[in-house]
Chains A and B, each alone.
Chain A
Amino acid sequence: MAFVKAQKSKAYFKRFQVKYKRRREGKTDYRARIRLINQDKNKYNTPKYRYVVRFTNKDIIAQIVSANIAGDLVLAAAYAHELPRCGLKVGLTNYAAAYCTGLLLARRVLKKLEMDDEYEGNSEATGEDYSVEPAESRRPFRTLLDVGLIRTTTGNRVFGALKGALDGGLDIPHSDKRFAGFSKESKQLDAEVHRKHIYGGHIAAYMSTLMEDEPEKYQSHFSEYIKEGLEPEGLEEMYKKVHAAIRADPTAKQSEKQPPKEHKRYNLKKLTYEERKAKLIERLNALNAAAGADDDEDDD
């Protein structure tokens, strides 16, 4: 091993201040979190809800969360992997699926709070900017969008989820600047383009071009769509049906699995003093026996 001067001395480690755990994991932006959670002191214990949207490689997670010193409380959650129940089997992480997940969460929350009759939201997704009108008896459910660590570019799927929640009837302060279809030159949202994205029009267009130009790539790329028998023209119809199914029954399905009676162990159990001593004696005996056998072999 080459002789290298030690870079990080003991003094370095003694003075090192670790960042917060979730910052080390790269999962939480504390600057944004402080600003999302901070409630006016003269509103005392009124919860401030944030609409959390996170994307994994194969799933979309949408939650309504309120902050607590003991830990955040989730009021309601919706996942993209629940959409097969509403009729959407493929493409669970695209813009259209994000819209569906947002819509599902919004309807679920409103149903839970018994506000779903008052606040229908926008039943026909036109892609235009829609904000909830306050009804007579109760004010709309207000929540703030929490994007997490994603880069907020125009047309990002997280704004698809935002549009879904808005059309579902939630009151989320927003601007149409980042919806798909907003053009920087004209500084206006092209509702047609946005509507196409909500109904998977951009996917249908890609499917058509691939079918003509590169059929093999089409077969490999959209294999699941082909398996379900989905044609580019039928996508919009399918999404319309999914939206209707979501509005019809947004309740979450309880899983039938029972929680395991005892917790599964993920690490080794710590041995007692006697057990450790016994193990040591066993190892010594085994060593002696092996050494004795070797001696016998050597003698032979």
Chain B
Amino acid sequence: MPAGHGLRSRTRDLFARPFRKKGPTPLSIYLRTYKIGDYVDVKVNGSIHKGMPHKFYHGRTGRVWNVTKRAIGVEVNKQVGNRIIRKRIHVRVEHVQPSRCHEDFLQRIKTNDKLKGEAKARGEVISTKRQPKGPKPGFMVEGATLETVTPIPYDVVNDLKGGY
């Protein structure tokens, strides 16, 4: 009989719980709150059978577009043929983690606001734009001795000694 292409086909290892982490799930999963617009990672928890996303979405990151009683609506990009579709799925909270992809940006917002506030108090105009790393500055080489290297003339007799 052929293998079949059911909903959870080929997920024996993907949905398995990690080593020595089987059994009850930690309670902090249930205590987290998600707002619309947050970025979340979808990571399936194999021990919770309800509200599982399809295996395609395991490991994807998307934005929250809906919040219901026990589940979150996540908008994930999926390439179908020659285009990328924004797919909307509903996933139970046990299969979702807050994503850190956005964390750097949110941090930067905070520090920039603070810097701008301080600069305004001082009356200066500052730019908080990130600058790309430029070329390294020039430097003088210290303590180098000059050694001139020249080729030696080809010596037939000595070089052919080995394989002759």
Contacts and interface: CB of A to CB of B under 8 A. Distances in A.
B82 interface: no
Contact of B27 (A23, A42, A67): A67
B15 interface: no
A45 B23 contact: no
Interface residues of B, number: 21
Contact of A37 (B23, B30, B35, B69): B30
Contact of A44 (B22, B35, B68, B93): B35
Nearest to A35: B30
- Please classify the interface of chain B as helix (H, G, I), strand (E, B), loop, or mixed, using the class held by over half of its residues: loop
A44 B64 CA distance: 14
Interface stretch (A26-34, A196-204, A212-220, A264-272): A26-34
7 closest cross-chain pairs (CB), A and B: A17-B20, A40-B69, A30-B24, A69-B28, A42-B67, A38-B30, A41-B67
Contacts of B32: 69
Contacts of B23: 17, 19
Interface residues of A, number: 21
Nearest to B35: A44
Interface in B21-58: 21-25, 27-28, 30-35
B70 A45 contact: no
| Residue in A31, A33, A41 whose Cβ sees the most chain B Cβ within 10 Å | A41
A28 to B, nearest CB: 10
Contacts of B35: 44
Given A41-B67, A44-B67, 10 more contacts: A30-B24, A37-B30, A37-B31, A40-B69, A41-B33, A41-B69, A41-B70, A41-B71, A42-B68, A68-B31
A29 B49 CA distance: 21
A37 B72 contact: no
